[in-house]
Amino acid sequence: MALNLIVLGPPGAGKGTQAQRFARERGIPQISTGDMLREAVKAGTPVGLRAKAIMESGALVSDEVIVEIVRERLDQKDAAGGFILDGFPRTVAQAQALDGLMLGRDPLVVVDIAVPETELIRRLTSRLVCEDCGTNAEPGTSPEAPCARCGGRLKQRADDNEGVVRERLKVYRQNTQPLVDYYRTRPTFRAVDGAQAPDRVAADLAAAIAAAANGAGR
């Protein structure tokens, strides 16, 4: 049966890194909203052309268009054995739309990576990214070290100062935290402690996903 997964968590929780690692180990695609938009635009699908026109006008792509792009992406062959959604859903309305897309499919497994706000602020204000490929460096990496992915130079992101970080976390609590509440009562929901070392988080994430999948009667 397919393993259909959403990994939630605030900025700095490491959800993108963990999702990428899990997807690679399990051989299922990690599907990001940005990638889906770019692929739809490149393919010239009707919804991709709509998204392109909206983005070129400077407007935000609506939930309706995003949901249709997600539908198209999940219908592709490589997602038949499962997928990890990255950056979608972001709101309860998108989650409700996703529930509609999942009708007739295996259940969604939802894991929330929880990290105390003080730790998130510490991580984000010390985070380094590659100025060439944009990859986040592993926590604790020296600023003088090259990017592990492409060898480029590492730097701090402009929006990773404490004031901006606190505002991003506030926006997360207001807009995205309700998603956790939406999914929390499902038998396929689990939470893991994201304040641990990355390898420990990865192990707990894998165990939580297995337990949640069993909770779905798999």
- pLDDT, tens digit, for every residue of 148-171? 999 999 998 777 788 888 998 998
The CATH H-level superfamily of 3-28+81-115+174-215 is P-loop containing nucleotide triphosphate hydrolases (3.40.50.300)
**Which pLDDT score, from 0 to 100, does residue 110 have?**
96
Segment 34-49 mean pLDDT: 83
The mean pLDDT of 186-199, rounded to a whole number, is: 95
Q: Give the CA angle between residues 203, 204, 208 to the nearest 5°.
A: 120
How does pLDDT run across 65-80, given as a tens digit for each residue? Answer: 889 889 989 999 999 9
pLDDT score for 216: 63
Q: What percent of the chain has pLDDT over 90?
A: 54
* C-alpha separations of 102 from 57, 123, 189 in Å: 31, 35, 16
How large a percentage of the chain has pLDDT more than 70?
98
What pLDDT score was predicted for residue 189? 96
Average pLDDT over residues 5-21: 90
- For 209-218, what is each residue's pLDDT tens digit? 999 988 765 4
- pTM of the full structure: 0.81
Residue 208 is encoded by which pair of tokens? Answer: 């939580």
pLDDT mean over 100-125 = 93
Question: Where exactly are the structural domains of the chain?
Answer: 3-28+81-115+174-215
Please count the other Cβ atoms lying within 10 Å of the Cβ belonging to residue 74: 19
Find the range with the poorest average confidence among 31-40, 115-124, 137-146: 31-40
56, 76, 187 from 49: Cα distances, Å: 10, 18, 38
Active site residues: 15, 90, 127, 157, 168
